[in-house]
Amino acid sequence: MDRPLLNRRLAEFGTTIFAEMSALAVRTGSINLGQGFPDADGPEEVREAAVRALRDGRGNQYPPGPGIPELRTAVAAHQQRFYGRLGLSYDPDTEVLITAGATEALAASLLALLEPGDEVIALEPYYDSYAAGIALAGGRRVPVTLRADPESGSYRLDLDELRDAITDKTRLILLNTPHNPTGTVLSRDELAEIARLACERDLLVLTDEVYEHLVFEGEHLPLASFPGMRERTVTIGSAGKTFSFTGWKVGWVTATAELVSAVRSAKQFLTYVSAGPFQYAVAEALALPDSYFTELRDDLRTKRDILATGLTDAGFQVFRPSGTYFITTDIRPLGHDDGFAFCRTLPERAGVVAIPNAVFYDHKDQGAPYVRFAFCKRTDVLQEAADRLKRL
């Protein structure tokens, strides 16, 4: 067969770097700070809720297409509890859709809302499924690069660059705050300007807020709460990161009834439904008291600080994240400038696995000297990683 098996839309997306690096971690006995999943499961009572649902025969057969009413109600109540003060609330019957994780929510939204040739602006570096999702939908991605600012030790969005990236073909802005991999939490002013541009140019916004509860400095503001945004914003959340059950793949979309209905049209032919018993458990998880969310955040802030100190002591320049599971570092102070080469030899040299940020860029040169470490791991593991990195 002379025709390639993989279609042209997906040809540029080989196997992910995560598979290569995780295999390297196993082969070298390294601590894997590559992929962002916690090494301790979420709350016992939430696990028990899943077991109870399974035993009681709740969710073992196809749940309703939009998700079970208990979970849709819990998602709406969660939005009300945390963002009601900002004037944001959703009708559980028509404005909430349960998905197979944020990943399906993203794919279904892009497949539903894009026509071939539509341009999608995404903040670069971006989560790896964005590029593939846009490609599957026949869209064209237009990256706007978050710039590393060594002075402040953080990343900033250039609003002029964002404004200039919008054309007559732009359909949608794909946003992610708190931002993976840089740990940036977009500020009120930045979000207000994005909202203003979206309204002025009549754009839809798809906003990935899976790290909404992992903000260590500042606060998370949903873009949908800004003036004029509720009717044009699809907000994505997930139980994976908030409750440390990344294997359950329970996510959700909140948006107007019209947008939810559009996204559901695509979702029904991807998975139709998913995670029956887990939906019941996540409904209980979303009702956990405020203290659960505060403790999760405080615990991860401590972990961030342990790893940030270790990386600084080892000679990396550290961009201190305001949110998420990840720390981005600059390897140039260690005498390196190629993150790929660095990450391929790091396991042999220091027994730690990390991810080169270049994989999250279209402009590979922009990401070349940066490397990402995950800190959603037990403190003893992070301490051991910090000790090992001192060998460098």
Laid out side by side, the sheet with 370-374 consists of 317-319, 326-330, 370-374, 355-356
Of 125 and 351, CB closest to ligand PLP = 125
Cα separation, 128 vs 25, in Å, equals 20
User: Counting contacts by CB under 6 A, is residue 102 touching ligand PLP?
Assistant: yes
Q: How far is the CB of 239 from ligand PLP (least distance, A)?
A: 7
Closest CB 387 distance from ligand PLP, rounded Å: 27
Tell me if residue 372 falls in helix, strand or coil.
strand
184 interacts with ligand PLP by CB under 6 A: no
For ligand PLP, the closer CB: 109 or 389: 109
Q: How far apart are CA 316 and CA 389, in angstroms?
A: 10
The smaller minimum CB distance to ligand PLP, of residues 36 and 66, is found at 36
Closest CA to 255 of 264, 268, 245, 244: 264
- Of 109 and 238, nearer to ligand PLP (C-beta) is 238
Nearer to ligand PLP by Cβ, of 226 and 252: the residue is 252
H helices present in 244-334, as ranges: 257-267, 276-286, 290-314
240 scored as a contact of ligand PLP (CB under 6 A) = yes
Site string for ligand PLP, 195-234 (x = CB under 6 A): -------------x-x------------------------
What tokens does 217 get? 């400095």
Q: Which helix (H) or strand (E) holds 148?
A: strand 147-149
Q: What distance in Å separates the CA atoms of residue 13 and residue 156, rounded to the nearest whole number?
A: 27
Nearest CA to 390 out of 283, 316, 282, 295 is that of 316
Task: Name the residue nearer to ligand PLP (CB basis): 157 or 314.
Answer: 157
> Does residue number 375 form part of the binding site for ligand PLP (CB under 6 A)?
no
Q: Does 357 bind ligand PLP (CB under 6 A)?
A: no
254 binds ligand PLP (CB under 6 A): no
246 binds ligand PLP (CB under 6 A): yes
Residue 271: partners with Cβ closer than 8 Å, 6 or more residues away:
99, 100, 104
CB of 107 to ligand PLP, least distance (A): 10
Interface residue list for ligand PLP (CB under 6 A): 36, 101-103, 127, 176, 180, 208, 210, 238, 240-241, 246, 249, 251
